[in-house]
Structures are given as C-alpha cells and as structure tokens.
Amino acid sequence: MKFLEAEFVKGFIRMANDGWEQGWHERNGGNLSYRVKEEEVQLVRENFAPGEWQEIGTTVKGLAGEYFLVTGSGKYFRNVAIAPEESICMIELDESGEKYRIVWGLINGGRPTSELPSHLMNLEVVKKKSDGRYRVVYHAHTTNIIALTFVLPLSDEVFTRELWEMATECPVVFPDGIGVIPWMVPGGKEIAVATSEKMKQYDVAVWAHHGMFATGEDFDLTFGLMHTVEKAAEILVKMLSMRSDKLQTITPDNFRDLAKDFGVTLPERFLQEK
C-alpha cells in the first residue's frame, strides 16, 4: 500500500489540518505524534527508506522498537495536507529507546519536531497508564488558554474548576481535571519531564504562555478534548471581558449530580467551595 493511502496517515493529516483551520498553528507552531500500531506498520513497510540513527535526547525504554508518525521541526501545519511527504515523517526507535531514525518522509531534509523528547516521554507515560490504548499526543497554541495563563493562578485546581464551570460537558470530557505547568523553555528535557509527570494524572496539560498538550486513544478523541478545553477557555475569556464575577454558575453539588448521572468520578479537591 502507498504510504499516503493508509487510513492512519489520512487521519493524522486531517487532524493537523483541522488544527490549522482552528487558528492554533501560526507559522511552524505546534506538533503532533501518533504511536503506530504494528498492523499499520506492516501495511506501509514497503515504502520505508531508513536513514541514520540519531539521539532522541532522552530514554524511553517503554517505546523501544516502536514506530511513530510525527510532524517535522520547523514545518508548517498548513502544509501538512498540501505536501505531507515534506512536512511529516515516520520514525523508528531502536531497541534501547535512546535513538530514532526516519524511515519515511521529510524528503527535503529536516528532523522530527523539536519537542520530540516531550512527545515520546508523554507517549510512554500514557501508554502505561492506559494499558496501551492511548496513542496520540497533540500540542497546539490555543489562543484562549494562553490568554488565561496571564490572569489565572497557575494551579491545576483553579484551571480545572474555572473551565468545568464554563460548559456542562467539560467535567464529562475531562473528569480527571487539567494540569498546569509554569513557563519553561520549550523543546528540552526539563519541560518534557514536567509534562510527563502531569500526564500521569491528567489527559491535558497547559503550558503557561505557550499552549496546551493533550493525549488520547485516537485522533478524534484527542482533537475533541483539545477543542472542548479551548472552547471552555473562550467562554471564560468572554465572561471575564463582561464582568469579573459570576452572577450564577454550576455549583459543587451540581457537579456531583452530573457525575452520578454520567458515571464519571470527579476528584473532590476540584469541588471545594470557593
């Protein structure tokens, strides 16, 4: 099968384009990765042309020998659908989980996203916590979430509660809450470690003044999670622009009733009276 005809590749390209159309990927902002299933690897293996092994910059033994579809460093999301072979690549990890090599893509040269260590460390964490179900990690520069990091305390409890109150679906879509990470230099091991620690508990992490990280089982669920959080942030930004306080909102007991009816567990630390 030709590489670009595989359904998982089409799904990856569609998700990247959806993010571009939302306005989350100015210039070369953001990145996307997908842990490829073994049967999907076999479908496209005939297209592989392995390159030289390169250092990842971290160790991810839990992902050793696996394959990943990732966006390229310095590449524009707007070009993923137009010229995917120039904008994305598939990589293979070695048996130590310390090196990678490109087996397809980036035909005009380049390397995987500069935040590859963050993506792989997070994919290792979420693979373990989900018994292998989670396969997607997505980073985007979501405008309203970034705006809120300038005016809200950078705490998991504050961001979770404020966003839960913005739309009834929010505690159902992200019942575990949201992690928040103070500003750090992107692309390095420090922010990768901090994010992977948050991902042990949450499916969403906010990077202060930078954007959001989300993870999930497939492209639709992961994009939908990111979209829901950003829409809640947009509602909060609009509400704060009208007045600084709320005349009415969803109460802790409302949340408890919602959790019971929808069969989700909401941590009580997010439901304390303000």
Catalytic residue set: 115
| Inter-residue contact 173 to 224 (CB < 8 Å) | yes
Reduce the DSSP state of residue 207 to 3 states and report it.
strand
| Inter-residue contact 106 to 50 (CB < 8 Å) | no
- In degrees, to the nearest 5, what angle opens at C-alpha 267 toward C-alphas 264 and 272? 125
| Inter-residue contact 63 to 35 (CB < 8 Å) | yes
Reduce the DSSP state of residue 130 to 3 states and report it.
coil
Q: How many CB atoms lie within 10 A of CB 95?
A: 9
Which of 271, 182, 219, 248 is closest to 17 using CA atoms?
219
Edge-to-edge strand list for the sheet holding 88-93: 54-55, 99-105, 88-93, 67-71, 31-35, 136-140, 211-216, 204-207, 179-181
| Inter-residue contact 181 to 206 (CB < 8 Å) | yes
CA distance 12 to 8: 6
Question: Taken in order 242, 243, 247, 252, is the CA torsion positive or negative?
Answer: positive
Supply the DSSP symbol for 19: H
Burial 124-160 (b: 16+ CB within 10 A, else e): bbbbeeeeeebbbbbbbbbbbbbbbbeebebebbbbb
